[in-house]
Amino acid sequence: MNLSKKILHHACKNGILVPALNIPHLPMMTPVVQACVDENSMAFIEVARVEWEKFESESISAVKKAYDAAVADPDTRSFIRLHLDHVPVIDEDNQLVDYQSIIAEAIELGYDSVMVDGSRLSLEDNIKAVRGVVDLAHAAGVPVEAELGAVLGHEDGPPPPYEEVFRQKRGFTVPDEARKFVTESGVDWLSAAFGSVHGAISEAFRDQKKPDARLDLDHLALLVEATGVPIVLHGGSGVLREYLLPAFKNGVAKMNIGTEIRQTYTTALQESGSIKKAQDAVYRRTRELLSDYLDISGSREHFRGLTAE
């Protein structure tokens, strides 16, 4: 079994979170990795298509090169894994994406896991798109993440009112659809919607603070029962801590964190004009998130002995 897949299944079974930290600006790579090393935390480093299209991560090959430099020590490579985050079939601008070519390139480059996002498609079309990626990736021994439901926030323009989204369960993943989706697509873990929101990516709103989000833990329990696979929480930045720890104990094995560290980096860069000071700021913030917000310092110790088969 692929090591990243084994890590998430172990995390899910034992109620341990694996954070997944997004790199929208290449200079963030070294301090984010170093923060994980210094906190002795199991972690995924990841990049989404939007982050090289609309931010400054440049390309999946540039991210892989920066990652390889940051995890040159083989021991570090064993507990800080590289994931390809959101590669949409239809993007936030409603444009078709050549998603299979992007994912094939990532697999060839050596990414440890990949994600295809068909959440803007119908259920049947989403299953079909994901099944094609699963066949491609599994042939290379690479696990696949996919999304069902709609974790809102990547739309153009202002984010929708959060309380309205939560009250109406707008975009929430439907458990019966999730059961069908996982069974027919063969996906290894599932990004599901049950209360979190992505950070805005449009120019006018990307620097705004995210709302304090909640999680519908009863809805999460239904999704876990329906799917039997690790659940991924996208839009992790800004979720109230009181909702996180129960979620980690009950099926959420991976949580994506992007906005929190991106805004830390860009704010420090704007204020100081110094990449080094911005790197120092994101290093400190990442350590705070791992130790204080998530309480997972030392989590690597729970995964020692896991190896790829």
CB count, 10 Å around CB of 240?
11
Can you list the alpha helix ranges (DSSP code H) found in the chain? Answer: 3-14, 29-38, 49-53, 60-70, 74-79, 99-109, 123-139, 162-168, 175-185, 217-227, 241-249, 259-272, 275-288
Query: H/E element holding 156?
Result: none
Number of Cα atoms under 13 Å in the Cβ half of residue 259: 23
Question: Comparing C-alpha atoms, which of 31, 11, 12 is closest to residue 23?
Answer: 31
**For residue 216, what are its two tokens?**
């519908």
Q: Is 85 a catalytic residue?
A: yes
DSSP string, 20-89: EEE-SBGGGHHHHHHHHHHTT--EEEEE-HHHHHTSB---HHHHHHHHHHHT-SHHHHHHEEEEE---BS
Could you say which of 73, 75, 85, 112 is catalytic?
85
Question: Comparing C-alpha atoms, which of 75, 50, 74, 76 is closest to residue 63?
Answer: 50
DSSP string, 259-272: HHHHHHHHHHHHHH
CA gap 283, 259 in Å, rounded: 14
CB 120 within 8 A of CB 102: no
Which positions are annotated as active-site residues?
85
